[in-house]
Amino acid sequence: MKSIATILNQQSFEKKDILALLNANEEESKLLFAKSLEVKINNVGNSVHLRGLIEYSNICEKNCLYCGLRVKNENKSLYTLDDEQIDNCINEAIRLRYGSVALQCGERTDKDFTQKITQIIKRIKQLSDNKIGITLSCGEQNADVYKEWFEAGAHRYLLRIETSNEELYYKIHPNDAKHSFKKRIACIDDLSSIGYQVGTGIMVGLPFQTIEDIAGDILFFKEKDVAMVGLGPFIPHEDTPLWKYKDEIPNDKERMLLTLKTLAVTRLVMPKINMVAATANQTIDKMGREKAVMVGANVIMPNLTPTLNRKDYSIYPNKACVQDTPDECANCLDIRMKTINHTILYDEWGDSPAFLEKQRL
């Protein structure tokens, strides 16, 4: 069997190499992380891009078995930001010099909703003089809706596949028309053909998930040639069906390490993509986001949602920054990144170099 050091010197990686890297022990992981940081610095530098996160509404029609926003969870109070609150978020993004925002919400497909998103996209462009970039994360939609949003000014879209193993997909989602693995893949393909910079990703440490599954996920990112990856640890939520497996999954420390390895290997396999240091990392490790940046992530999503509503966007419990204001997050992140020798780039869209190169071809 090849040593980890030998694999790390390769330019391309087969599934068995990816598996060996994901299985690295503590000592070997240090080599992996040193290499993935080096590859990141050489390809995308030591800068960090920001996406100011606007959690527009926690209303969701779906029933994912892991998520606190699922429609069958009755222990949540519903909210949707009104126009004034949305304007405030946009103005905060401008004031804090965030070059991009990410508009995120539960999934709805009714026309009232899809048209409202179009209107918000136009409002962001209008208030910022066309300066602020827009990432959407509003779930599965028909290609016409994706087109309408693209034409209104959104240019990136995040839709995590959650797992690329169809069998596992149906262990963490109900098996019905509203939760179709094939439809999710078709959405990712639609988004790419429309011209979005597409991001996908997974949760790490799900019940029933194997290392082999995660290796398959990394190859899926590569096969789809995505511009961005957002992945983070699974965090059991008390009001969801997967809560009952909380003692059967790897513990916080193990899930954190596996998340870091997944990020590191993804960076080796796709050196020029944008990769998010997910906030979920910070829920299971106080230094989780810094650690993610140190193994290959280069994007952070500081929260712009009004502090009063943050607690209700409870995808998973104990989310970081729930009590904080946008100003506090902005200062906190600036200091945190300086501490690890990284520089936040303000007033920039921060597009993925992988995407820009592909466009040039």
Interacting residue ranges for ligand SF4, rule: CB under 6 A: 60, 62, 64, 67, 69-70, 106-107, 139, 315
Structure tokens belonging to residue 279: 């906030």
283: CB partners within 8 A, 6+ apart: 233, 235, 316, 317, 318, 319, 320
Residue 35 or 70 with smaller CB distance to ligand SF4: 70
Half-sphere CA count of 116, side-chain side, radius 13 A:
17
Of the candidate residues 65, 235, 284, 300, the single one contacting ligand 5AD (CB under 6 A):
235
Residue 4 or 321 with smaller CB distance to ligand FES: 321
The secondary structure of 103-127 as a DSSP string is EEE----SHHHHHHHHHHHHHHHHH
Of the candidate residues 237, 267, 336, 342, the single one contacting ligand 5AD (CB under 6 A):
237
Of 101, 192, 193, 191, nearest to 146 by C-alpha is: 191
Out of ligand FES, ligand SF4, ligand 5AD, none, what residue 139 binds, judged by CB under 5 to 8 A for its kind, is ligand SF4
**Hey, is 275 helix, strand or coil?**
strand
Out of ligand SF4, ligand 5AD, ligand FES, none, what residue 133 binds, judged by CB under 5 to 8 A for its kind, is none
Out of ligand FES, ligand SF4, ligand 5AD, none, what residue 160 binds, judged by CB under 5 to 8 A for its kind, is ligand 5AD
45: CB partners within 8 A, 6+ apart: 298
242: CB partners within 8 A, 6+ apart: 65, 66, 172, 206, 207, 234, 236
| CB 139 to ligand SF4: min, Å | 5
Distance of alpha carbon 49 from alpha carbon 291, whole angstroms: 16
* Candidates 95-103, 138-146, 153-161, 322-330; binding stretch for ligand FES (CB under 6 A): 322-330
Of the candidate residues 20, 187, 321, 354, the single one contacting ligand FES (CB under 6 A):
321
Q: Are 323 and 317 in contact (CB under 8 A)?
A: no
Distance of alpha carbon 165 from alpha carbon 210, whole angstroms: 10
- Is residue 54 near ligand 5AD by the rule CB under 6 A? no
Out of ligand FES, ligand SF4, ligand 5AD, none, what residue 107 binds, judged by CB under 5 to 8 A for its kind, is ligand SF4
- Is residue 334 near ligand FES by the rule CB under 6 A? no
Distance of alpha carbon 349 from alpha carbon 178, whole angstroms: 33
**Hey, is 8 helix, strand or coil?**
helix
* Candidates 147-155, 199-207, 327-335, 338-346; binding stretch for ligand FES (CB under 6 A): 327-335
Per-residue x/- track, 35-74, ligand FES (CB under 6 A):
----------------------------------------
**Count of residues that bind ligand FES according to CB under 6 A:** 7
Footprint of ligand 5AD (CB under 6 A): 66-67, 160, 162, 203, 232, 234-235, 237, 280, 315-316
Footprint of ligand FES (CB under 6 A): 302, 321, 324, 328-329, 332-333
